[in-house]
Chains A and B, each alone.
Chain A
Amino acid sequence: MNKQLNRLIDCSMCPNMCKFSCPVYLATGSETFTPQKKARLILYHKKNLLEDEDGFFDAVFQCALCGNCVVNCQYDDFDIRDFIIEERSTAFKKGFISPLAKDALENFNRFGNPDGERETIDKGKGEIGYFISCSTFKDKDIISATEKILNKAQVDVKEFGGGDICCGAPLFFAGDMDGFKKKAEQMEKLIKEKGIKRIITNCPTCIKMMKKHYPEVGVDLGIDIVHTLTFTKELIDEGRLSLKKVENKSITYHDPCILAKDLDITETPRIILKKIGYSLREPAYTGKDAHCCGGRTRIGDKNTRDAISNMRENELKETKATEYVSACPTCKDVLKSLQMKDILEIIGDALDE
């Protein structure tokens, strides 16, 4: 941690070489919300040099946690998001709740999930668990497309999700680390009970939570967790799925933050889309340079979140593609004005009957 603290100091004295990529900065024009200035404020908070603590806490919630700054960081061994989450945790302990986290936290208290009362999904068989994330739960088209692909390839999966089952990401984003730990432990127990040896899910955030952040709170699931896109690519490569071609269609793929930057998946969707016959139209900011869609609760401030969504929507519109696609249920929902589809829906539609 001492080394990381030194890096935080280095970050606080960097010329701000990553600021160009920060969607919060770009959408607000605020120097305060750039990664380097956040590092300086975090350093001052640690040194007890700040008098307006709520103003500081608000600043650490003005972050999309997208990782653009990490991709463009001068230091290979530094991720400022670790410090931002640490400060969010401090904020939560002191009773600071960001406006956008409020509803989700209330729902967690009552229903154990961020969205409210909902049925529990528990069907199918096998050792592969298809985890229906909270964001996927609300999008029946993604679930149907995924089921269609799995059926076609004759893959047995145990579907689970809904009810009070959640990876805990909204709690993590809000800084409620105790609540997050409980959800991680609940997930661990559930997976053991169900005898699941591998998890597939449509939601990149769930994957990151389970793989990176669960171990940080002492929960190691000890199993492979992959995106449905990666799993589908495996099925295609094994010859278990064949795809029919589309003609004269252009498409723009929006890279979800976590999938591209944390899970390093940018080529797979493009390979599949090209295989289906789409002509790819890249926006100006794409791949690891893509801007965040704004998300749902990763940013604490609605105005900032909406400004980012609006910015990304305009960037994507520039391509004038006939279709838009992503690989994250939240991105699809946030960017719905573009009639955004999930890539599993595109693949599902392209399956040879």
Chain B
Amino acid sequence: MKVKSFLSKRKNIPSEFIQEAKRIVGERYVSEDERDLISYSTDYWLYGVYETQFGKVPAIPSAVVSPKNTEEVQKIVKLANEYQVQITPFGGGSGVLGAAAPFNGSVILNTQRMNKFISLDEISQVAAFESGIIGTNLEKELNYRGYSLGNIPQSISCSTVGGWVSTRAAGQFSTKYGKIEDMLLGLTAVLPDGEILHIKPVSRKSTGPSIKHLFLGSEGTMGIITEVYLSVHKIPEKVVKNSFAVDSVETALNMVREIVQTDAKPAAVRIFDKNETERYFGVVSKRSKYQQAFSTAGKILTGKVSPKVLNILNESKNKTSFEGMEKLAGKVAVIFISEGDKDFVLLEDRVIKKIAKKYNGISIGEKPVDIWLNKRFDVHLGPTILRNGGIVDTIEVVSLFKDAPALYNDIIASMSSIEGAVSVSGHYSHFYPESACLYVTFAGFPKDQLKYYEDTWTAAMEATLRHNGSISHHHGIGFLRKPFMKKELGIAGEKLMRDVINAVDKNHIFNPGKLVEGKDEQTVK
């Protein structure tokens, strides 16, 4: 192949495996064709994506197999054991940590043919889907029947529900509806030895440690999830939107903490730091043109930025003016969406306004919420930055409220100090009574893209660990965060995770090189 892989190469796998696989799933659904090996060579790991424009891909699989149901998955997994062929599961390929990059010349097991709505139990409000359905279509199927799951990640148009479970995904409305682990009631999966596991859907039970939770965040190391049972809710009767301007990220965190520590459960809550407030809401401050584009909580990043780069980054700024926007100048924006039963929503609205007032929050009304709703899936700038030699990515971490302000300051400063950085900004979008998830977006135009990328990630992970934070809230580990897992889990924790995976996957069949160091060191080169 002229297209080159820079992390892992294709291997020769037994031709008998290919022939048998074709008998199981059909000729059309087993491929060793160049076009397919390229198409499944990476997920949305951003540095890998950056390299694709030059004809380089992270990891070329040896083949791609696309079964249509649990039984076919079972047969393929048994076959993989028989021929000692490793498998990397591939859902929507939207993961940003490289979890679906097929290391060690493994065979891709593509779940995207299993993309159907199965059933809706309207009495219990439980819906069943095949694992390869894309989030938008899952929502469309539910909305059509008057329901919603409430998991609305930015990747909803390109990620699968199986991927959500495998990474412990979170959506923009998580403060009310929770993460996917709060929605997942049961599942069907094929274990690494080929046995079919069915976990029946109930809300809570006391039957020993939760087997279900072995699959949440397993990133394809525990087997293949083929069906999921999810808790769903009726489409909200009433929606109320609020927004406020406050003085600082710390004030905003205190305000939101106090709100979520009451019985209030706003569906979406978002704190935009000053840089993101400016970018999202187009606030024109009195600072210089340069500073308008690249301010980070008042701290200007170093390094000269060309007019071309300036133009590219300015593209992301909101151009629409609205009444009250001037009140956001130099402030931190906080937005709320409350939804559900009308009486509860109106009550919650009063609680939010009361506490916001206590923190001198200036009410801006619904408009900033609408602007965010319109822009929340807009990712067009990322590829344009990559095409122009820049690097862009996001990092999400989580900490207790008591550590959150210090973590925010440290992570932004640490990432901003890396040579080549031009923009580092943050927002909080997932809240619990005890903690909040910080989501940092960074862009740089460095001389050495890989060094900048690795140094920035290391800076972010180390800052998080310094402040007792966890290194991932909902994107997962893949291979990119794997080196930080020992510090995250501790030596005992990492060993326990490795032992559990190795006990379940004795032949080291599943997703080589991911999640935890040493789980398959015998096989991964």
Contact = CB atoms under 8 A, between A and B. Distances in A.
A49 B3 contact: yes
A6 interface: yes
A51 B39 contact: no
Nearest to A314: B116
Interface in B149-199: 155, 157-158
A237 interface: no
Nearest to B143: A284
Nearest to B159: A15
- Best-surrounded residue of A12, A15, A52 (most CB of chain B within 10 A): A15
Contacts of B114: 29
Contacts of B92: 16, 19
Interface stretch (A39-47, A113-121, A155-163): A39-47
Interface stretch (A30-38, A132-140, A322-330): A30-38
Contacts, number: 127
Contact of B387 (A13, A26, A47, A283): A13
Interface in B196-233: none
A19 B132 CA distance: 13
B35 A41 contact: yes
Interface in B368-416: 377-380, 382-384, 386-387
Contacts of B137: 20, 26
Contacts of A74: 378-380
A56 to B, nearest CB: 6
- Best-surrounded residue of B35, B36, B66 (most CB of chain A within 10 A): B35
Contact of B90 (A15, A20, A31): A31
B387 A15 contact: no
Nearest to B3: A49
A72 B384 contact: no
Interface in B265-324: none
Contact of B39 (A11, A40, A43): A40
Interface residues of B, number: 49
A292 to B, nearest CB: 15
Contacts of A15: 44, 94, 155, 158, 379, 382
A13 B113 contact: no
A31 B93 contact: yes
A18 interface: yes
Interface stretch (B47-55, B243-251, B444-452, B456-464): B47-55
A51 B1 contact: yes
Contact of B34 (A13, A28, A52): A52
Contacts of B28: 303
Given A31-B112, A40-B39, A14 B379 contact: yes
Interface string B1-44: 11100000000000000000000000010000111101110001
A217 interface: no
Contacts of A28: 113
Given A10-B384, A16-B158, A31 B35 contact: no
Interface residues on A, range: 35 or more
Contacts of A17: 157-158, 377, 379
A104 interface: no
Contacts of A48: 2
A95 interface: no
A171 interface: no
Contact of B52 (A13, A18, A285): A13
Contact of B66 (A11, A29, A50, A285): A29
A56 B33 CA distance: 10
- Best-surrounded residue of A10, A21, A41, A55 (most CB of chain B within 10 A): A10
Nearest to B113: A29
B157 A19 contact: yes
B115 interface: yes
A9 interface: yes
Nearest to B35: A55
A44 B52 CA distance: 9
A66 interface: no
Nearest to A282: B144
Interface in B123-159: 132, 134-137, 140-141, 143-144, 155, 157-158
Interface of B: 1-3, 28, 33-36, 38-40, 44, 49-50, 52-53, 55, 66, 68, 90, 92-94, 110, 112-115, 132, 134-137, 140-141, 143-144, 155, 157-158, 377-380, 382-384, 386-387
18 contacts: A6-B387, A9-B53, A9-B383, A12-B383, A13-B382, A13-B386, A16-B94, A16-B158, A26-B115, A28-B113, A32-B36, A32-B40, A37-B38, A37-B39, A44-B3, A49-B55, A50-B3, A51-B34
Interface of A: 6, 9-21, 25-26, 28-32, 34, 37, 40-41, 43-44, 47-52, 55-56, 59, 72, 74-75, 283-285, 289, 303, 318
Given A13-B52, A44-B38, 4 more contacts: A19-B92, A29-B112, A31-B40, A49-B55
